[in-house]
Amino acid sequence: MSDQAPATTIIRGATVVTMDAQRGVLRGADIVIRDGLIADVVDGTSSEEGESIDGTEWIVIPGFVDTHRHTWQSAIRHTYGDVDPLSYFREVLAGAGTHYLPQDVYAGTLLGSVSALSAGTTTLLDWAHIQNSPAHADAGIDALRDAGIRAVYGHGWPLTSTGEWTNDSALRHPRDVERLTRTTAGSPLLHVALAARGPEMASADVWRDEVALARELGIRISVHVGAYRHNAAARAVAQYHRAGLLADDMTFVHCSNTSTDELSMIADAGATVSLGVHCELNAMGIGDIPLDRLLSVGIRPSLSGDTETKCSGDMFTQMRALFGYYRSWVGGGHSGVPGPHELTLHDVLEFATLRGAHAVGLGHHIGSITPGKAADLVCIRATDLNIAPVSDPVATVVLGAHEGNVDTVFVAGRRMKSGGRMLHADAGRIVDAARTSQNRLASLGVGR
Ligand SMILES: [Zn+2]
C-alpha cells in the first residue's frame, strides 16, 4: 500500500457537518481532497475525477482539536481516577515524572497520540512538562511524528521532587525550546508552543521572561490558571494584564476558579481558554467548570483531554461531559451568574473543532470543512447500531458517537485510519512498549 495520498480523492455522498457558518450541514455532499487540502465541498455531485470513496454511510466532521493533553502520561493511563487528586501531583509529577526516561516519554506519547487519532483527534497540543533533558523533548517529538498526528508540542519544564521549578521558581524556562522551534520550523504537521508555569508557579521575573521568550521565538503560550481554589489568589491573569503582557497568543487552561473580571481580561485580549472537562469533573477540588461565566464574557472555549491518568482523553467524552454538566446546572445559579446562557449541541461540537483550531493558532488552516483548509477529516459510520438511524447528525455525533464509530480519519489528506483500523501504527507493539514502560515505572515504586 502506498503511503502517498493520490492526487485527488473524493468522498462522495456524505452527510457533512462542516462547522463552516456559510455551509452548515450538507446531505449527499462530495468533499474533494487534493494536495492535503480540501479543494472543494459540493452540495451535490462533484464533476472532479480521482479516487472515489463511498461516503453515503458517513457523517464527516472536521478533525477534533485537543488543546491540552499531557500525552507523556498515557502509559500510566487510568491509574489515578479513584484517589485524591493531590496524589497525582505528588506521585506522577514529583514522583514518576522524575524517573521518566526518554523511552518512557516516547512510549506514552506514541500511545496517547495514536489512540487520539483513532478517536478522531487530528490535532493535539501535547502539553509536555517532562523536559528532564533535551533527549526527553526529542523522544516526545519523535513519537508525535511517528504517530502522524498534527501536533503542537508544548515545551514545559523538568520534573523534580523538590519543587524548585514550580514553587515561586527563580529558574528560567529551559532554552531548549529555542532549538526545538528551530529544528521543527517548516514542518507541515508539527509546531512548538511554550507550556508556561506562569504566575502561580514562577517568580515575576521568570513568568515575564517566559512570555518574552515565546514572543521572541514567535510561538504561542499555554498556561494552567485557577484550577484549584488556592490558585485563584494568585490572580495570574490579572498579573499578566497589569504587566501589559496579556495577548491573543495565550491559552489559559482550566480557569475553574479564575475570577470573572479576569475572564473579561482574557476576552478583551482575544486570548483563548482550554477546558479539560472530564478531568475537571473527576478531580475533586477543582470545582465548577466556568462555562457559564466564559459565555457571559463572550469566550467560546476549546476542549482538552488533560491527563489520561484520571480521565478519558477522547473528545467525544469531553463534549458529552460538558453538555451534560452544563445542562444539569444551567439556571441553577451554579457559578453565581444570573441567567442561563444557551448551549446547543452544535456549540459543543464547535468547541471541540473550530475553537480548538483557534486556540492552537491554526484557525486559518483547520477546524472546519472549508475549501482551502487542510483535509483533516473524521468519517463516522452512521449505520452503526448505537447511532442509526440518524435524524440530526450533530446530535448523533455529540450525544451518541464514540471511537468505535470512527471508520476513517484523514490528516492533511493522508488516510490514518480506514475501515476502523489504524493504517500506519502497529497497535500491539505500541501497547507492548507502553506496558514495558508502565512496568518499569511500577518497579521504581511509582504508578498504581
Ligand atoms: Zn493540565
CATH of the domain at 331: 3.20.20.140
Ligand 1 midpoint to CA 276 (Å): 7
CB 347 within 8 A of CB 308: no
Ligand 1 midpoint to CA 275 (Å): 10
pLDDT at 5: 56
Answer yes or no: is 132 within a domain. yes
Helices (H) and strands (E) in the chain, counts: 16, 17
pLDDT at 342: 80
End-to-end CA distance of the chain: 41
408 in the Ramachandran plot: left (φ > 0), alpha (ψ -120 to 50) or beta? beta
Secondary element (H or E) of residue 432: helix 427-443
Ligand 1 midpoint to CA 88 (Å): 11
Beta bridge partners of 64: 121
* Other CB atoms within 10 A of residue 175 CB: 8
pLDDT at 80: 85
pLDDT at 157: 97
Which residues, by Cβ under 5 Å, contact ligand 1, an ion? 306
Please report where in the chains the cell 483533516 appears, as a residue: 376
Write out the chain's pLDDT in tens, 448 residues.
445 556 999 999 999 999 999 999 999 999 999 999 999 999 999 999 999 999 999 999 999 999 999 999 999 999 888 887 778 888 888 878 888 999 999 999 999 999 999 999 999 999 999 999 999 999 999 999 999 999 999 999 999 888 899 999 999 999 999 999 999 999 999 999 999 999 999 999 999 999 999 999 999 999 999 998 889 999 999 999 999 999 999 999 999 999 999 999 999 999 999 999 999 998 877 878 999 899 999 999 999 999 999 999 999 999 999 999 988 876 444 555 545 678 899 999 999 999 999 999 999 999 999 999 999 999 999 999 999 999 999 999 999 999 999 999 999 999 999 999 999 999 999 999 999 999 998 888 766 6
281 shares its domain with 381 = no
49 shares its domain with 136 = no
Answer yes or no: is 432 within a domain. no
107 shares its domain with 25 = no
Torsion angle (degrees, nearest 10) of CA 174, 179, 180, 185: 140
CB 50 within 8 A of CB 6: yes
* Other CB atoms within 10 A of residue 129 CB: 20
Ligand 1 midpoint to CA 81 (Å): 15
- What's the rounded Cα separation, in Å, for the pair 275 and 322? 9
Ligand 1 midpoint to CA 298 (Å): 23
Q: Domain with 402 in it: what CATH number?
A: 2.30.40.10
309 shares its domain with 268 = yes
Q: Where are the beta strands (DSSP E) in 140-270?
A: 150-155, 190-196, 220-225, 250-254
Answer yes or no: is 439 within a domain. no
Answer yes or no: is 29 within a domain. yes
Ligand 1 midpoint to CA 306 (Å): 5
pLDDT at 442: 87
Answer yes or no: is 168 within a domain. yes
184 shares its domain with 324 = yes
42 shares its domain with 185 = no
Q: In terms of residue numbers, what domain contains 52? A: 8-63+373-422
Ligand 1 midpoint to CA 38 (Å): 32
70 shares its domain with 55 = no
Q: What are the start-end ranges of the H helices in 251-314? A: 260-269, 277-282, 291-296
155 shares its domain with 291 = yes
Answer yes or no: is 428 within a domain. no
Ligand 1 midpoint to CA 22 (Å): 34
Ligand 1 midpoint to CA 94 (Å): 14
Answer yes or no: is 365 within a domain. no
Provide the whole-model pTM: 0.96
CB 61 within 8 A of CB 41: no
146 shares its domain with 18 = no
207 shares its domain with 271 = yes
The contacts of residue 277 (CB under 8 Å, 6+ apart) are: 289, 303, 304, 317, 318, 321, 322, 325
CB 359 within 8 A of CB 397: no
Secondary element (H or E) of residue 289: none
How many structural domains comprise the chain? 2
Pairing label, strands 37-42, 64-69: unpaired
What does each C-alpha distance from 28 to 59, 236, 373, 398, 410 come to in angstroms?
Answer: 10, 49, 21, 21, 19
154 shares its domain with 17 = no
- What's the rounded Cα separation, in Å, for the pair 234 and 104? 34
Q: Which of 86, 108, 106 is nearest to 95 (CA)?
A: 86
Answer yes or no: is 3 within a domain. no
Torsion angle (degrees, nearest 10) of CA 215, 220, 223, 226: 100
DSSP reduced 3-state for 344:
coil
CB 371 within 8 A of CB 39: yes
Strand order of the sheet with strand 190-196? Answer: 64-69, 121-128, 150-155, 190-196, 220-225, 250-254, 272-275, 302-303
Beta bridge partners of 299: none
207 shares its domain with 79 = yes
